[in-house]
Structure 1
Amino acid sequence: MSPPGLRRMRADARRNYESLLATAHAMFSEHGTDASLEEIARRAGLGIGTLYRHFPTREALLEALLHDRMEGLAAEAGALLADPSPRAALWRWLTAFTERAFIYRGLPASVMATLRDETSELAACCHRLNTAGAALIRHAQDAGEIRADVAPADVMAMAGAIAWVGEQTPDDPERRSRLLTLLADGLTTGA
């Protein structure tokens, strides 16, 4: 994500910002979201102060890395509201959510911890994503295609848990898909 003032940044500040993001992505991909911020700064060839000037917290760094991905998933949910099969649209989106929303090891736990902080940009981004998913869930419920007695927040929590389990079992790449099928079967109405 580009911060609002990226275009107004001096060229060296912009390079530092982009270098920190690229290095953080590589480090989080390799070591998970608990990767050392000091090491990220060092590998980017910068000091820790520079990292903290751009990203005052780990959550701010995660939000910058995830913003476009999460906003894209939210936009996909909005577009899928027009699909003639609300249930099929919901499962396509939940599949994309479990595959793409949690790209770094440890991210589900980081996100859950952040959700309690209402001032966090990462929490705000997650809230927009959850709201978009909830709209798809309610749309499928209104169409009578999934159970009406299930809270959208619970479905989103289960999808997040499925993403986490998929992360924990990389030797079983089909596990996430099997768990999503179980979730779909459990939510589908008999109609």
Structure 2
Amino acid sequence: MPDRRRADARRNYARILAVAEEEVAAHGADASLEQIARTTGVGSATVRRHFPTRRALLEAVSHKRIEALRVRAQDLTGAADSRGALLEWLGDVVAYCASARGLAAALVYDGVAPDPVHDNSCSAMLEEAGDPLLRRAVRDGAVATGVTVADLITLAVGIVLATEHHPDPTAAADRLFGLAVAGLAGQGPAAT
């Protein structure tokens, strides 16, 4: 009997996650947990058992994109231009967050420790992925010392959250990211 419940729990998790992906794509971080439960055909307690917090749900929905960003950081680690590699990766973070509703909300630093059930938070995964890129750029003198990957992700998330209701959020986020990278010294937006 315990094996059957585990199999049922796995099936429920997969169904809930599939529905949650659709709901988050349609409604962003404010997707209704109750609607997810209704559409899945389970009780809201079942949804909350699998995803005890909204952040846990958003992190699960965002996991594939975060993994793609982690792989992208690895691919860029050996690039000749360390600053360019870091900025290209950050541009990808901005683009992914702007195009994937709910991803920026999963990355927001809210001072709350990650849910112990979901100990590999999206932010922690991104920080770990981006760290080699940043360390190399700092070592090459291309980025100021004292800058952290958390700082850069916070900047990216802030840009995405500020533009999420823009008619073209991806273009607006990309423009603001370019301005942030170039600064206001008349250099114009950096190519990302």
Confirm or deny a common fold (TM above 0.5).
yes
Among candidates 22, 26, 29, match of residue 30 of structure 1: 26
Gaps of 5+ in 2: 185-192
Amino acid at match of 1:49: A
Among candidates 150, 155, 170, match of residue 153 of structure 1: 150
Among candidates 43, 62, 65, match of residue 66 of structure 1: 62
Q: 1:165 to 1:55 in 2, by over 3 A?
A: same
| 8 Å CA contact retained: 2:59, 2:121 | no
**Separation in 1 of the partners of 2:20 and 2:149?**
32
Counting only pairs closer than 5 Å after superposition, residues 96-107 of structure 1 correspond to structure 2 as 96-101=92-97, 103-105=99-101, 107=103
Q: 1:172 to 1:110 in 2, by over 3 A?
A: closer
Identity %: 40
Amino acid at match of 2:41: G
Deviation, 1:123, is 6.5
**Separation in 2 of the partners of 1:105 and 1:71?**
16
Gaps of 5+ in 1: 1-6
- Other-structure match for 2:39: 43
Among candidates 151, 160, 163, match of residue 163 of structure 1: 160
- Other-structure match for 1:20: 16
Deviation, 1:11, is 4.8
Among candidates 72, 88, 95, match of residue 91 of structure 2: 95
Deviation, 1:122, is 6.5
